[in-house]
A and B are shown apart, each in its own frame.
Chain A
Amino acid sequence: MKITVGGESREVAEGITVADLISLEKIDNPEYVTVSVNEEFVDQGSFASHVLQEGDSVEFLYFMGGGAYGIHQ
């Protein structure tokens, strides 16, 4: 079936989960990734059970954070 990942079309197996897709896409540091499917965020605890459907649009968003904390230490 066809889905969209990061704006690009992908052909994936039926029944693929978000967790499977993270592995397939070789996402670095997945513990810091937020996933949206059709603009709805998926809880990290549901990655293994959330089955993707034909036409789904998936985005992997890295947590973007940081700051000067501790820079003078």
Chain B
Amino acid sequence: MRVTISRAYFAEMCAHARKNLPEESCGLVAGRDLPDGTREILRVYFLTNTDHSREHFSIDPREQLAAIRDMRSRGLIPLGNWHSHPESPSRPSEEDKRLANDSRATYLILSLEQADSPVLNAFHIETVDGIRTVRREELVFIEE
């Protein structure tokens, strides 16, 4: 799947994640699925990491519910979530895979491992024949 996100949102995610260091940051993404298979992220939500941890995150269900209500009011659909890895690469950990329970979701991971060159990747995670499988999606940054 091809996933698109604006450079402005990418910059905002980086700023938010840097501000919250050393903790991981997290949130949701919303937008629409186009007929050609492209998944278009049109809104990013910056939510509280209730774990307040540098190596784990949990999204508050009340904030999650409020964000979903907001998406609906804007005619957008929930597309997945994002979180930062302050000190490690932009790829799913075993913990990320274990807790990726929505096979319809796109999982975005922002790495701040290299402070001057943050890396954002998108992943699809699902269970196939009892095994968690990860597929990296094509992530395209859109100029606005």
Residues of A within 8 A of B (CB): 7, 28-29, 32-34, 36, 39, 41, 59, 61-73
Say whether B93 contacts A71, CB under 8 Å.
Answer: yes
Which among A28, A36, A41, A66 is the interface contact of B103 at CB below 8 angstroms? A28
By CB atoms of chain B within 10 A, which of A28, A32, A62, A73 has the most? A62
Distance of B26 from chain A, by nearest CB (Å): 7
Number of interface residues of B (CB under 8 A): 37
* Whole-angstrom CA separation of A33 from B103 in the bound complex: 13
Give the contacts of B14-47 with A (CB-CB under 8 A): 24, 26, 28
Residue in chain A with minimal CB distance to B57: A67
B12 at the binding interface (Cβ < 8 Å): no
9 more contacts with CB within 8 A, not counting A29-B101, A63-B101, are A36-B61, A62-B101, A62-B102, A65-B56, A67-B56, A68-B96, A69-B95, A71-B88, A71-B91
Q: Given A28-B101, A61-B68, A68 and B93 touching (CB < 8 A)?
A: yes
Q: Given A61-B61, A62-B102, A62-B105, A68 and B85 touching (CB < 8 A)?
A: yes
Residue in chain B with minimal CB distance to A35: B61
* Whole-angstrom CA separation of A72 from B94 in the bound complex: 10
Residue in chain B with minimal CB distance to A66: B96
B65 at the binding interface (Cβ < 8 Å): yes
